[in-house]
Amino acid sequence: MCVGTDRLECLRYHIQNVIPQLQTARLFLRPLVLSDSQQTQLLFPHWEIVRYLSHVVPWPYPPDGAYTHYRDAALPAMERGDAWHWTLRLKPYPEQLIGSINLRKGEDTNRGFWLGLTWHGQGLMTEACEAATDFWFNTLKFPRLRVTKAVANVASHRISEKSGMRMVAVEERDYVSGRLPTEIWEITAEEWNARSKRKIE
C-alpha cells in the first residue's frame, strides 16, 4: 500500500507493475497514470462524448476534472484491485492520448470507455474493447462481463453487438443528459472464448 508524501510516485510504480500494457493491431493500451490528466482535460469535455456517460460525471466539466478524477477515484481503485484503466494511443503516435477504456468490478457495469471526437467512426474502440474484454476473462478470470448503455447510444450498442454480447434487460438510468431508457448487455467467459475460437477457425 502506498502512503506518505511519495504516494503518487509509489502508486504509479505499483500500477505499472501490476497492470500490463495491452495492444491491438492499431493501438497501445497503456495503464493510466496521473500525468495523463493533462491530455484528457483537453479531449474529454465535449457534449458528444459525455452526454451518455453516468450522471456522476460533472457537467459543465471543471478545469481540474480529469486530474481530480484520476487522483481521487481511478488510481486508488486501480491500487485496490477494483478497477483497471488504460489510455488509448495509436501505434504510430504513442505519446498522443486519444481516449480511455476501463474495467471494473460490479454487478452490471464492468466496462466503460470514451474516445476523442477526431477518432470516432474508425473502429478503434471496437479494437480496444476486444483487448480489454479478453483481459477481463482470460487474465482476471471473471465469469461474466456486463455493460449498461443508453438506448440512444447507437455507436456503443454496435460495439456490444460486434463483441458478441446479448441484451438481457432494459431499465432507466441517469446520465449527464438526463434519465434515459437503458440496455444491460452481457457476455460470459464461455461465450467469449467460444467466439474467439470461432474467429481463429
Chain segment 38-69, per-residue pLDDT in tens: 999 999 999 999 999 999 999 999 999 999 99
Burial of 144 (0-12, 13-18, 19+ CB in 10 A): middle
**Model pLDDT, residue 30:** 98
| Structural domain count, the chain | 1
pLDDT tens digits, one per residue of 96-151: 999 999 999 999 899 999 999 999 999 999 999 999 999 999 999 999 999 999 99
In a domain? residue 63: yes
Helices and strands (H, E) in the chain, number of each type: 8, 8
- CATH at 183: 3.40.630.30
Whether 14 has a pLDDT exceeding 80, the answer reads no
Question: Cα dihedral angle (89, 182, 106, 135), rounded to 10 degrees?
Answer: -40
- In single-letter form, the type of residue at position 161 comes to E
Rg of the chain (C-alpha set): 17
Listed range (11-20, 58-67, 76-85, 184-193) with the worst mean pLDDT: 11-20
Q: What is the mean pLDDT of residues 158-177?
A: 97
Determine the distance from the C-alpha atom of residue 182 to the mean position of all C-alpha atoms in its chain, rounded to a whole number: 18
Q: What is the mean pLDDT of residues 14-36?
A: 90
In a domain? residue 122: yes
Using alpha carbons only, what angle is made at residue 168 by residues 167 and 174, rounded to the nearest 5 degrees?
85
Q: Categorize the per-residue pLDDT at 11 as very low, low, confident or very high, splitting at 50, 70 and 90.
A: low
Q: What is the mean pLDDT of residues 31-36?
A: 98
In a domain? residue 114: yes
In a domain? residue 1: no
**Model pLDDT, residue 192:** 97
What does the alpha-carbon distance between residue 100 and residue 180 come to, in Å, rounded to a whole number? 24
Domain around 104: 7-200
What does the alpha-carbon distance between residue 157 and residue 185 come to, in Å, rounded to a whole number? 9
Q: How much is the pTM?
A: 0.91
**Model pLDDT, residue 7:** 58
Listed range (5-14, 101-110, 170-179) with the worst mean pLDDT: 5-14
Q: Categorize the per-residue pLDDT at 171 as very low, low, confident or very high, splitting at 50, 70 and 90.
A: very high
Residue 54 per-residue DSSP state: B
CB 63 within 8 A of CB 114: no
In a domain? residue 146: yes
45 three-class SS: coil
In a domain? residue 2: no
Comparing CA positions, the residue from 195, 183, 82, 187 lying closest to residue 145 is 187
Q: Which helix (H) or strand (E) holds 170?
A: strand 166-175
